[in-house]
């Protein structure tokens, strides 16, 4: 059986798609024949990842945007629509964490995290859904949230707040847009082993604390998250909306 064959030819937009989890998601969609556009602010990283994507599918590309700015979100999605005609799947992956004690969080830090993880997710979803509704087409929106939406953890007051909000946002949008056949779901990973997080885990005490909280005994890998995203994007999940799949090795089951 050829799993996920229905994703071939789909137009997929991945925010934060040049690095880490977002890059893995983008590459896997491209391997399945989807036309993938990645979004970010780092032109160098965007260009490098796009070169990899184009080797798999020459129809892939990138768009620059700061998703904390609503006007840039609108311009970016409108440009995507002008180039591709429609959005089939939106992956809201762009995220930010500024680990610090709650007593040290500044207004600037709080706004940076919330604007990226919650505000950006909402306005990307809003613009994509408006286009789906106007064209009378079904669509899928998948938000990358976190297990921190369900549990507390040190030095993550703003991050936990933003991801908890994104889970509730997922439910609210799923209910409101169900009549348009737009499914809105989320994937909530635990700590992921990537080049970007490797430095963080050089703190042996922190690393061991994380492992002790994961019953499966290891960090997740980007592909663990990507697999859940592909499932939600596929026809196998056509009767699922408003749900969050926890890819956390059992952390939140305790």
Instruction: State whether the Cα torsion 43-49-51-56 is positive or negative.
Output: negative
Residues 6+ apart with CB under 8 A from 124: 15, 67, 73, 77, 90, 92
Torsion of CA 20, 25, 26, 29, to 10 degrees: 160
Burial class (CB in 10 A: 0-12, 13-18, 19+), 80: buried
Among 5, 8, 6, 30, which residue's Cα sits nearest to residue 17? Answer: 30
Single out the catalytic residue among 153, 159, 180, 207.
159
Known catalytic residue at 207: no
CA angle (187 as vertex; 89, 134 as ends), nearest 5: 25
Catalytic residue IDs: 159
């Amino acid at each position: 059986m050829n799993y996920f064959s229905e994703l071939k030819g789909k137009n997929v937009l991945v925010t934060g798609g040049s690095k880490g989890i977002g890059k893995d998601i983008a590459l896997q969609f491209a391997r399945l024949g989807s036309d993938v556009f990645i979004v970010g602010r780092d032109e160098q990283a965007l260009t490098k990842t796009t070169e990899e994507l184009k080797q798999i599918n020459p129809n892939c590309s990138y768009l620059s945007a700061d998703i904390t700015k609503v006007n840039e979100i609108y311009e970016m999605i409108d440009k995507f629509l002008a180039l591709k005609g429609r959005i089939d799947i939106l992956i809201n992956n762009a995220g930010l964490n500024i680990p610090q004690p709650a007593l040290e969080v500044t207004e600037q830090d709080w706004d940076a995290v919330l604007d990226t993880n919650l505000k950006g997710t909402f306005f990307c979803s809003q613009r994509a859904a408006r286009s789906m509704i106007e064209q009378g087409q079904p669509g899928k929106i998948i938000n990358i949230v976190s297990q921190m939406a369900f549990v507390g953890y040190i030095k993550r007051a703003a991050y936990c707040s933003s991801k908890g909000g994104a889970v509730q946002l997922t439910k609210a949008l799923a209910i409101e847009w169900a009549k348009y056949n737009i499914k809105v779901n989320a994937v909530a990973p635990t700590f992921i082993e990537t080049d970007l997080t490797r430095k963080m885990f050089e703190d042996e005490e922190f690393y061991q604390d994380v492992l002790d909280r994961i019953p499966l005994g290891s960090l997740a890998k980007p592909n663990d998250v990507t697999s859940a995203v592909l499932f939600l994007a596929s026809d196998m999940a056509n009767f699922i909306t408003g749900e969050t799949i926890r890819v956390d090795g059992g952390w939140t089951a305790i």
